[in-house]
């Protein structure tokens, strides 16, 4: 293992000049998040990527930007409106962030209009504007409007009795300027038309009016073509689509609520109407209308985004499903059955002999479902305990927990009600489980329970034995096909006893037990990670072999960053594989020369957290549910656990660390100024994810030639 990690990096440089880590200026977190989205956007630009996948990446960037504004923009907006000049959020920070976001949005629409639209047209796929439609097509659109759309529209003319309506977060709307008088002789010139969310944003024309091509019409263009029909007797002089993004991070004073579930359900009703943080309008929107909207939403001018196309690119994702042409998509990847699981043999029996690691999505989530299904159907299994963070609204795993209750087993579910944007689904699951007799708890007041663990207790003769599952990812079947994660199944007595202790801690809220294997946030995970980093730094200062390789989604925790900087200055070789935001300025001359940071953006979303430390002859490898962020270390319930089996450790190092350090196709390298340089061979290079797909396909064919994949 040591040689494998060592081979992936140059020899250690002499210790850097002495600069106090506390004096090093860290990179801006929000700009780093936008830089991550630029790396995702690159996949939409790349012509070697199938066309529908390029569109999908463009939509992912738009979805990410939506969440960025919903979660991160409000303090900047408030600072700009108040003219703040000092502190973390200022008028200057808002302007800098806005300039960065405006540039990225402009490039998105330029790519869509100048590259993707012509490329789709070359394949006979077009979204047809009103002016391009044939007479027969206009007639079909009109019939569709009158039948499906018009009955759902309620145009609202503004006057003292009809003030500006509540506009929901990210909803599609039209603003219209009218000439003439209304039925009561008044000159109320502004009207708002809300477009119901229930309506599809793209509609395919039938073959009878589009026999040769795959032609689509957008809902916005249908409404635009019929705005005059909504205001009979009035002249529409100006109009524009618009969409407002609102701050959507639910904030509850948990100390001051009697029932968190009830409070959250009430809070969800108001989420759609939080503080406005961004306004999108059509590029041709008049200054009169855009100024009117900015005033209504109390936004500064820099929060206005004029877009040359649909105001919500995310909804174009529907085109991927509507077209569904295999030639324009990635070749399908079918996850293989977990290679360490023997088909037809009891999984619990296998765990009595050895631990099992599953690497998703290269290996199937079905392995975990099989583990839980066996436990549910086993009459000797008495208790099942599980944390629920994100499972989705349609979950076979949750159905299995329901079946376990019906079979008389004790089921405990720790449901995190505050899982961002999954709150409603989790509330519904919590209520469903409670209604049939499961023990449901909601974690710890003031903390999110982000740890992923599932524990089965079984009677075996005169004793009880536990079987556990720990994961870097969520118990979500859909994302398990799209995210890279590690699942760890074990019957180790110390590990499973620790898991049981954590479950009891979450239910009773007593002091956490003394843990022998697991590291638990917010109690000691951060401190132990800092200690591990310091241990490597001290080994380096003594001239011993010293190495850190860590893979995570984000690195923003200042204590961990400062510890890494110091260890690097002491001579430790440090490689960080950070998918998203990273505030550590790597390769800063004389300061962080021994630290390299790379980001891998591939077909699957990198999501696994793997931490490797070597100090002298000692090696430690941890998997974790936690990124190295302050919130994960101090404001969440998180877990990290050691991998002690040498074979499994080597597998994880090879697949999750070494492969990514050698990636010269999908990797980006962080510069000291916060910019990223892409891999030297984005077309012909060797990507870690592609290599793993080839590897698992080959191993599955060799080991289980007749085993059907999922």
Q: Which residues contact 686 (CB under 8 A, 6 or more apart)?
A: 662, 663, 664, 665
**Which helix (H) or strand (E) is 441 found in, with range?**
strand 439-441
Structural contact between residues 336 and 363, judged by C-beta atoms closer than 8 angstroms: yes
- Using CA atoms, how far apart are residues 540 and 561, in angstroms rounded to an integer? 17
- Using CA atoms, how far apart are residues 320 and 55, in angstroms rounded to an integer? 8
- Token pair for 567: 């260890």
CA-to-CA dists, residue 333 to 265, 693, 696, 705, angstroms = 38, 8, 11, 17
- For residue 485, the Cα-to-chain-centroid distance in whole angstroms is 13
Q: What is the largest CA-CA distance in the chain?
A: 89
- Using CA atoms, how far apart are residues 586 and 598, in angstroms rounded to an integer? 9
Q: Annotate 68-95 with b (16+ C-beta within 10 A) or e (fewer).
A: bbbebbbbbbebbeeebeeeebbbebbe
In angstroms and rounded to an integer, the radius of gyration of the C-alpha atoms of the chain is 28
- Token pair for 58: 């463009």
Structural contact between residues 458 and 380, judged by C-beta atoms closer than 8 angstroms: yes
**What SS3 state is found at 547?**
strand
**Which helix (H) or strand (E) is 691 found in, with range?**
helix 688-703
Residue 350: name the closest of 341, 338, 359 by CA: 341
CA-to-CA dists, residue 489 to 408, 537, 620, angstroms = 24, 32, 19
List the catalytic residues.
450
Residue 598: name the closest of 660, 684, 536 by CA: 660
């Amino acid at each position: 293992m040591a040689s494998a990690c060592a081979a992936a990096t140059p020899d250690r440089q002499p210790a850097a000049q002495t600069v106090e880590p506390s004096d090093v200026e860290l990179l801006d977190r929000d700009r780093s998040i936008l830089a991550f989205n630029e790396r995702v956007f690159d996949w939409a630009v790349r012509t070697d990527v199938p066309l529908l996948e390029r569109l999908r990446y463009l939509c992912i960037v738009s979805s990410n930007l939506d969440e960025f504004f919903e979660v991160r923009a409000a303090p900047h907006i408030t600072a700009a409106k108040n003219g703040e000049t000092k502190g973390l959020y200022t008028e200057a920070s808002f302007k800098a962030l806005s300039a960065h976001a405006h540039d990225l949005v402009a490039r998105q629409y330029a790519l869509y209009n100048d590259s993707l639209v012509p490329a789709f047209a070359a394949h006979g796929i077009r979204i047809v504007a009103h002016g391009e439609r044939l007479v027969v097509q206009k007639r079909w659109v009109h019939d569709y409007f009158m039948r499906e759309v018009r009955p759902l529209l309620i145009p609202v003319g503004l006057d003292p009795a009809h003030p500006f309506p509540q506009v929901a977060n990210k909803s599609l709307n039209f603003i219209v300027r009218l000439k003439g008088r209304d039925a009561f002789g008044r000159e109320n010139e502004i009207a708002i038309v809300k477009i119901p969310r229930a309506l599809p944003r793209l509609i395919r024309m039938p073959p009878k009016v589009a026999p040769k091509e795959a032609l689509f019409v957008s809902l916005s263009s249908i409404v635009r073509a019929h705005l005059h029909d909504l205001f009979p007797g009035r002249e529409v002089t100006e109009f524009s689509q618009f969409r407002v993004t609102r701050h959507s991070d639910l904030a509850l004073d948990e100390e001051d609520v009697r029932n968190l579930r009830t409070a959250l359900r009430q809070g969800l009703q108001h989420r759609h109407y939080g503080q406005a943080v961004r306004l999108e309008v059509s590029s041709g929107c008049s200054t009169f209308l855009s100024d009117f909207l900015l005033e209504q939403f109390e936004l500064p001018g820099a929060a206005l985004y004029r877009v040359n196309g649909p105001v919500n690119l995310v909804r174009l994702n529907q085109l991927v499903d509507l077209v569904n042409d295999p030639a324009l998509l990635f070749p399908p990847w079918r996850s293989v059955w977990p290679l360490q699981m023997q088909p037809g043999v009891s999984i619990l029996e296998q765990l009595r002999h050895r631990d099992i690691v599953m690497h998703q999505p290269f290996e199937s989530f079905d392995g975990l479902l099989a583990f839980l299904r066996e436990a549910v159907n086993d009459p000797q299994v008495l208790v099942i305990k599980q944390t629920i963070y994100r499972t989705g609204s349609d979950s076979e795993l949750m159905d299995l927990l329901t079946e376990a209750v019906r079979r008389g087993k004790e089921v405990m579910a720790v449901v995190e009600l505050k899982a961002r944007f999954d709150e409603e689904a989790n509330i519904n699951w919590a209520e469903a489980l409670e209604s049939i007799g499961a023990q449901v708890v909601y974690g710890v007041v003031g903390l999110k329970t982000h740890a992923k663990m599932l524990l089965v207790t079984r009677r075996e003769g005169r004793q009880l034995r536990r079987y556990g599952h720990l994961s870097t990812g969520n118990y979500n079947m859909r994302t398990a096909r799209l995210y890279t994660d590690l699942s760890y199944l074990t019957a180790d007595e110390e590990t499973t006893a620790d898991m049981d202790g954590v479950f009891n801690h979450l239910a009773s809220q007593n002091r956490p037990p003394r843990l022998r294997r697991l590291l638990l946030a917010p109690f000691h995970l951060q401190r132990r990670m800092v200690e591990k980093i310091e241990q490597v730094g001290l080994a380096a200062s003594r001239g011993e072999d010293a190495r850190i390789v860590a893979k995570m989604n984000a690195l923003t925790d200042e204590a961990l960053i400062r510890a890494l900087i110091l260890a690097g200055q002491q001579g430790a070789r440090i490689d960080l594989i950070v998918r998203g935001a990273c505030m550590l300025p790597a390769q800063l001359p004389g300061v962080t020369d021994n630290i390299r940071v790379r980001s891998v953006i591939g077909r699957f979303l990198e999501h696994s957290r793997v931490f490797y430390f070597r100090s002298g002859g000692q090696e430690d490898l941890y998997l974790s549910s936690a990124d190295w962020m302050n919130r994960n270390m101090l404001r969440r319930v998180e877990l990290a656990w050691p991998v002690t089996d040498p074979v499994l450790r080597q597998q994880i190092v090879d697949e999750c660390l070494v492969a990514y350090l050698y990636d010269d196709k999908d990797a980006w390298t962080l510069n000291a100024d916060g910019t990223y340089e892409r891999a030297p061979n984005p077309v012909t290079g060797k990507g870690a994810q592609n290599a793993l797909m080839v590897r698992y396909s080959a191993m599955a064919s060799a080991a289980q030639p007749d085993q059907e994949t999922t």
